[in-house]
Amino acid sequence: ESSKPTNFIHQVIEQDLEQGKNGGKVVTRFPPEPNGYLHIGHAKSICLNFGTAEKYKGGCNLRFDDTNPEKESQEYIDSIIEDVKWLGFQWQGDICYTSNYFDQLYAWAVYLINEGKAYVCDLGPDEAREYRGNFTTPGKDSPYRNRSVEENLALFEKMKNGEFAEGACSLRAKIDMQSPNMNLRDPMIYRIIHTSHHQTGDKWCIYPIYDFAHGQSDAIEGVTHSICTLEFEDHRPLYEWFLENLPVPVVPKQYEFSRLELNYTITSKRKLKQLVDENIVTGWNDPRMPTISGLRRRGYTPASLRNFCDMVGVTRSNGVVDMGMLEAAVREDLDKNSPRAMCVVRPLKVTITNYDDALEEWFELPKHPKDDTMGMRKVPFTRNLLIEQDDFAEVPPRKWKRLTQGVAVRLRGAYVITCDEVIKDAEGNVVELKCSYDAATKGANPEGYKPKGVIHWVSADNSVPCEVREYDRLFTVENPDADKERDFNEFINPESLVVVTGGRCESGLADAAVESRYQFERTGYFCVDADSTAETLVFNRTVGLRDSWGK
Ligand code: ATP
Ligand code: MG
Ligand code: MG
């Protein structure tokens, strides 16, 4: 007996398939408006729409919902296409644009006018709002509601021909000004916008409203299950009204699920754009952004985002997901799949006084402790080494397992060393450690010998300079949007980016490609940033080895 899917949309689909609905086909669509870059919430919608189509051997369309030319651009279109592909999904057929259907939508608007179900209204926005009423007050009919079909046709034609200024009039569906559902109170369906459109140029100066475009586009494309977020639940009666009142080829159905919200960040294109426009971040793909391109640059993998979306699940109850869960998803993937390397972020000089560089030793270390298929890496050992400043303490705290004077520690994969002498500068800062190594400890401890701990290191002479960008959460509070008195950008985490220059990593990383991901042993997960140059690699910290937020 096959188990029932926990995803309620899949339950609906399986029922539909059992009943032979839609000719046994499943067609979904992902319909972003190209008015910004996609964020983690969109990733959930992408995984749901494309994933559902895959699961039921159907297809998913990528449709740009491009009915607001003022806010949209080709740059956004390009980034969205890139993000969907990067997440590992492929749409069926050509990319779709709502603007491909402007002729058909116009014809359907004329159809509604002819049916006496749409009229041109001259109320300005403020008046229209007043006439619409609110949840406790029924609306009033517009004084233009009873214009004749002929007059409406002529006026709508004039709207289309650019004879009116923006806002002078609009086309509205004639439904019910008394409806308890505000969306049914004669919603606007076309408005005048004298702006050229990224796809249609200057062909149109009237553009359909989302509600008038969405269901009809679904019908034109043969979408069977139109999956959107819960804020569209109240729009469903309108979605259905248009499909019932127009000669559409098929009748898709709308289903709503809850939006993904994450704490310590914001998921709204408009607000993310504000962060970009105000230069609070370096761009849409700043590694602190919850955008797909930002997460990608931060070092997230497509699989980690897909797994995360799976873990979150699909429900109709709103809830805020903990950022720790997203971080755990990438940590799990990178732990399994990223090669290990050593990088000393804040170096302290170590001289192995009894070591002879003529040995020209290279140690072979596994790229991954649990995955032999990744093979080995070679790490040069020299007399001049670097260790992490943090890994030495002159006066060690209790239970100290790192280096201190007179105590032996193992250099990961190499020898056990003992610190014999601490060299300080004039201000008393520790600038160098003179150490000695024990040749008998190469790769393993002799009988009865137990160094206190293991620390990472690199050769000072044969390693690669790098800059390390230590990223952390963008906001200091769980819900940066909660405070009505203060703007979310007042809660930016001042330590969300700490740039550390002067680091050195293993020589084997010299040619690491942009976006290569590593676990720097004992430090965290990192990936190569596009800002890397021939002289200096730049690494972004994706996430620490374990959850340390607030600790
Ligand atoms: P934003 O408010 O960030 O602009 P939006 O819903 O206006 O989001 P669209 O481009 O219209 O953005 O979204 C495309 C699809 O992604 C829609 O079906 C929408 O419901 C879905 N989506 C957007 N945000 C989320 C989210 N946080 N969680 C799940 N799905 C989302
Ligand atoms: Mg939208
Ligand atoms: Mg929006």
Instruction: Confirm if 169 and 142 have CB atoms less than 8 A apart.
Output: no
Rg over CA atoms, the chain: 31
ipTM summary value: 0.97
Strand-pairing partners, residue 419, are 405, 435
Ligand with minimal distance to 84 CA = 1
Q: Where are the alpha helices (DSSP H) in 173-291?
A: 210-221, 236-245, 269-277
Sheet holding 517-520, edge to edge: 340-341, 517-520, 524-528, 537-543, 463-471, 497-506, 343-344
Instruction: Confirm if 99 and 135 have CB atoms less than 8 A apart.
Output: no
- The whole-angstrom separation of Cα 318 and Cα 316 is 6
The residue behind tokens 């909660």 is 482
Q: What is the mean pLDDT of residues 71-82?
A: 98
pLDDT per residue over 414-441, tens digit each?
999 999 999 999 999 999 999 999 999 9
Confidence of residue 4 (pLDDT cuts 50, 70, 90): low
State the pLDDT at residue 551.
63
Ligand 2 center from residue 68 Cα (angstroms): 10
Shortest-distance atom of ligand 1 to CA 33: 10
Shortest-distance atom of ligand 1 to CA 36: 4
> β-strands 188-192, 206-208: how paired?
antiparallel
Q: Where are the domains of the chain?
A: 8-257
Ligand with minimal distance to 292 CA = 1
- Cα 85–91–94 angle (5° rounding)? 110
Ligand 1 center from residue 101 Cα (angstroms): 21
pLDDT per residue over 459-478, tens digit each?
999 999 999 999 999 999 99
What's the N-to-C CA distance of the chain in angstroms?
Answer: 47
Q: What is the mean pLDDT of residues 282-291?
A: 98
- In this structure, the residue with its CA closest to atom 13 of ligand 1 is 32
Instruction: Confirm if 378 and 341 have CB atoms less than 8 A apart.
Output: no
Q: Where are the alpha helices (DSSP H) in 281-388?
A: 292-298, 302-312, 323-337
Q: What is the mean pLDDT of residues 261-279?
A: 96
Q: Which of 42, 214, 291, 318 to mutate to test the pocket of ligand 1 (most atoms within 8 A of CB)?
A: 42
Ligand 3 center from residue 269 Cα (angstroms): 6
Buried b (16+ CB within 10 A) or exposed e, 132-148: beeeeeebeebebeebe
Computed over every residue of the chain, the mean pLDDT equals 96
User: Among residues 63, 147, 269, 298, which one is catalytic?
Assistant: 269
> β-strands 320-321, 376-380: how paired?
unpaired
pLDDT above 90: percentage of residues in the chain: 93
Task: Just give the CATH number of 8-257.
Answer: 3.40.50.620
- The whole-angstrom separation of Cα 35 and Cα 66 is 9
- The whole-angstrom separation of Cα 50 and Cα 44 is 10
- In this structure, the residue with its CA closest to atom 25 of ligand 1 is 41
For residue 490, indicate whether it is catalytic: no
Check whether 306 has a pLDDT greater than 50. yes
Ligand with minimal distance to 34 CA = 1
For residue 158, indicate whether it is catalytic: no
pLDDT per residue over 221-260, tens digit each?
999 999 999 999 999 999 999 999 999 999 999 999 999 9
pLDDT per residue over 152-207, tens digit each?
999 999 999 999 999 999 999 999 999 999 999 999 999 999 999 999 999 999 99
For residue 399, indicate whether it is catalytic: no
Shortest-distance atom of ligand 1 to CA 268: 3
201 DSSP assignment: B
Q: Which residues line ligand 1 (CB under 6 A)?
A: 31-33, 41-42, 44-45, 65, 228-229, 259-260, 267-269
- The whole-angstrom separation of Cα 400 and Cα 350 is 19
Ligand 3 center from residue 61 Cα (angstroms): 19
